[in-house]
Structure 1
């Protein structure tokens, strides 16, 4: 049985009488990108700060590659590379000199060859000797990842890493994280940008008001056999709608044009509707299921949670 790259057990943070983080537990598998989703103020950054020991935990344990952070602090922290909020560098120095500065402070010895290697990994080898003040925001973010990877950690933790990046920079950063995961590095990333996390993560957890309310794989979430809008292209949409009114609630049927209508139905009901239309001499030219986005699923999950609490 393989050991998880990260296990967070009953993580809790209480300040005064307020529970900022409430009994949160999850794990990150080796070589996967795991996302913490939630609105600003949900507790994502507090969770990350506790994992990397920037703030004290009220309760709970952090396990990295089977090692308890409280029992083997130096060894465990040496397995973690992190960017919490925006990476900061000396702008009057080159990217290389900044990395050299951080290398000198590392617990593990970092060779000049390793600095060159991480510069290549983040695709900064052509600009590594330029001053950081000449770097774009995306380049500074990649330099931050290089700094986090200097000591060759097995777990990379990133808090809102795409903040301020343009679409091209976000895509490049996402592709880079995927390449790291393919090399076996595990990534924990927090964000409130749901569309981006949908493309980036293997699994995710939703944090709301300091509590974990949902956890699943991205693939399972997006492929669930839940009811969805399905668009049919037919010879006569009005006739089709009349036929279906005896089988499907009228409120779930919407005529779009003379040859298109949509119906809100579960996946298993699509073939039944298709057979019904054909048996009533209605030609079916096309069927397309409107795929739900992560934003749709996020709102559905959080709305259910709100109803449960009411």
Structure 2
């Protein structure tokens, strides 16, 4: 039995003479949230539209739970639920009647009990019989998730799902996705909102100009042990900086205030600096690592790719 909910193999899309997506391969584990990152025009939406068969692939394969989309189309599509761009509903109808309408079009039979179940799952049970025109944008997004989950798919695919949501709506939506992942549903989500993807995803891939340039777990990326900025709080920062520079000449040290200085240093050297300060009768009141954000790492990775292209 395959461990992957989704495998994308050498996915390629050519429009005219331009390769919009160029030999992209990645996999999504069962029960994980996997992010596609990249600027607008990087190919994220094109990849998603190829996966859900809204547009044809020039080359490559899509495998869902071990089944090839080309060979077992109906069975494979029934394993997917998707929101591509903003979900659209009949605003003059209630949320329930909209879901009932989609249920009637599903390949699998969807019971009234299942409709009530997904409404509760996305916390719309109290308003499900109200007209959609009374819903906030966040509520309509949740109704979109409910519609995508009606036929009980194992894989949920979302393209820029938090567009237009306010901070509270984004947080609520993120919490729903984490809940779904805990229940065993795999999620593929695309976005250009890096700070949100950092909080949402287990693993991610970075796309640039249609090519996949980086793929890793969020934890590995954020914990990479390169030199990081560390802020020391001491009783006399200028004196402390002189001591550190004398002991470790190669370090980049900067006075921030009378009682704080920063230094770019590997984790292993932090304790060495601390011991050096104490042995020179400088009191240390705090040591804080300035953690890089996903945005910082994103630009490090993309800028590195750009430099390698120039070479």
Query: TM-score by structure 1 length?
Result: 0.98
Q: Is the counterpart of residue 277 in structure 1 residue 277 in structure 2?
A: yes
Distance in 1, matches of 2:36 and 2:185, equals: 17
Q: Which runs of 4+ in 1 moved over 6 A?
A: none
Structure 2: how far apart are the matches of 1:55 and 1:161?
A: 20
CA contact (8 A) 2:194 2:295 kept: yes
> Secondary structure of the residue that 2:62 maps to in structure 1?
strand
The CA deviation at 1:278 is 1.6
Tell me if 1:265 matches 2:257: no
Aligned-pair distance for 1:281?
Answer: 1.7
The separation in 2 between residues aligned to 1:139 and 1:248, in whole angstroms, is: 56
The C-alpha deviation readout for 1:146-176, integer Å capped at 9, x for no partner, is 0000000000000000000000000000000
Encode CA deviations 1:252-289: one digit per residue, 9 max, x unaligned. Answer: 21111111100011111111111111222211111000
Q: What SS does the corresponding residue of 1:197 show, helix, strand or coil? A: helix
Which secondary structure state, in structure 2, belongs to the residue aligned with residue 109 of structure 1? coil
**Superposition RMSD on alpha carbons, in Å?**
1.1
1:73-88 aligned at under 5 Å gives the runs 73-88=73-88
What runs of 5+ residues in structure 2 fail to find an aligned partner? none
CA distance in 1, matches of 2:73, 2:65: 13
Q: Which residue of 1 aligns with 2:225?
A: 225
Name the residue aligned to 2:67.
67
Aligned to 1:215: 215
Q: How many equivalent pairs are there?
A: 310
Stretches of structure 1 lacking an aligned partner (at least 5 in a row): none
User: Structure 1 residue 246: deviation in Å?
Assistant: 2.8
Instruction: Quote the residue 2:130 is aligned against.
Output: 130
- Paired residues for 1:100-139 under 5 Å: 100-139=100-139
CA contact (8 A) 2:203 2:215 kept: yes
Q: Equivalent residue for 2:169?
A: 169
* d(CA) in 2 for partners of 1:223, 1:12: 32
Q: Which residue of 1 aligns with 2:18?
A: 18
Q: Distance in 1 between matches of 2:288 and 2:179?
A: 33
C-alpha distance in structure 2 between counterparts of 1:69 and 1:207, whole Å:
23
User: Structure 1 CA distance, aligned partners of 2:62 and 2:246?
Assistant: 57
Which residue of structure 1 aligns with residue 296 of structure 2? 296
The aligned counterpart of 2:48 is 48
1:162, 1:196 → 2: CA distance?
Answer: 9
Q: Give, in angstroms, the shift of residue 247 of structure 1.
A: 4.1
The answer (yes or no) to whether the contact 2:87–2:144 under 8 Å persists in 1 is yes
Instruction: Give the Cα separation in 1 of the matches to 2:249 and 2:81.
Output: 54
CA distance in 1, matches of 2:79, 2:190: 19
Per-residue CA deviation, residues 10-53 of structure 1 (Å, 9 max, x unaligned), is 00001111010011000000000000001111100000000000
Secondary structure in 1 matching 2:4:
coil
In 2, the alpha carbon distance for the partners of 1:8 and 1:217 equals 17
Which residue of structure 1 lines up, in the alignment, with residue 94 of structure 2? 94
